[in-house]
Amino acid sequence: MDKFTLKKIPTFDIVQTLECGQVFRYGFEDDRCYVVSKDHILYCKDLGDSYEFETDDVSYFKNYLDLERDYASIQKEVQDGGFVSEAIEYGKGIHILNQDVEEMIISFLVSQNNNIPRIKNTIDAFCRALGKKMDGYYAFPSMEAFAKQDLSFYKECGCGYRAEYIQGVARNIVSNGLPDLENMDTDTARNTLLSYKGIGRKVADCILLFGLGRKDVFPVDTWIYKAFKNDYPNASPEKMATLLIQKYGKNCGFVQQWAFFYKRNFKNI
């Protein structure tokens, strides 16, 4: 394991970043937190004026944490003097993580109509049952491992009706390969994801944002719908997503995370 230290800045907070709904394999223990991605792990200790990270792969997690991006400039660009400005002030330490696309496909299929503790428990069950045992943790399973399971396995892991979708997507990807989503434009990549049974607009946009780095998407879930329903009365979630993309353009994904975190955690009215 190697270590690196990061001086604290106002636009990065590890706890806010982990707890804003974009990642599910993380936790807190003693005086540190941890996050697992694919077959890698990162531990973080708060030293007061800096963070001390310990990991098996420094370069992987420096990219994963999106440490090179100028978040202060983005925050300045999207200020509106109202709700979005309040959301930024509340969650200004959030970074959008650069996660693995296959892990995001499975994770956000699990997330449908679900809550974060249950999502975390289901994904943990997957990793313990199917993932490679690492040094004190489990790697995320391969699509081949998911494809081999019958529906009873998924239901035992707490998937409910989602079992059929997860099994089906895994078997499709194993049989046909994962499409070259990275080299598609955003609309084409979204439509490709929508072709899988069980993936709707919100899940597709989450996969695009968190697994493919597409910041020009705006996933609309219950919290986002509540946050913007007065601005877009009578708009369906899909129509709202389209209107928000038109408004925020290349910065949509950042605004979505600040708005989601603020609405869910503080301004739930």
Q: What is the mean pLDDT of residues 7-24?
A: 97
Q: What pLDDT, on a 0 to 100 scale, did the predictor assign at position 150?
A: 97
CB burial of 47-69 (b: ≥16 within 10 Å; e: otherwise) equals eeeebebbbebeebbbebbeeeb
Give 56-86 pLDDT, tens digit per residue. Answer: 999 999 999 999 999 999 999 999 999 999 9
Q: What pLDDT, on a 0 to 100 scale, did the predictor assign at position 30?
A: 86
Give 166-224 pLDDT, tens digit per residue. Answer: 999 999 999 999 999 999 999 999 999 999 999 999 999 999 999 999 999 999 999 99
**The tokens 């400039």 sit on which residue?**
73
pTM of this prediction? 0.96
Q: What is the mean pLDDT of residues 112-121?
A: 94
pLDDT at residue 36 above 70? yes
pLDDT at residue 267 above 70? no
pLDDT at residue 269 above 70? no
Rounded Cα gap, residues 228 and 183, in angstroms: 32
Q: What is the mean pLDDT of the chain?
A: 96
Q: What is the mean pLDDT of residues 5-9?
A: 97
Residue 5 backbone dihedrals phi, psi, to 5 degrees: -115, 145
Rounded Cα gap, residues 172 and 58, in angstroms: 33
| CB-based contact 26:35 (threshold 8 Å) | yes
| CB-based contact 238:201 (threshold 8 Å) | yes
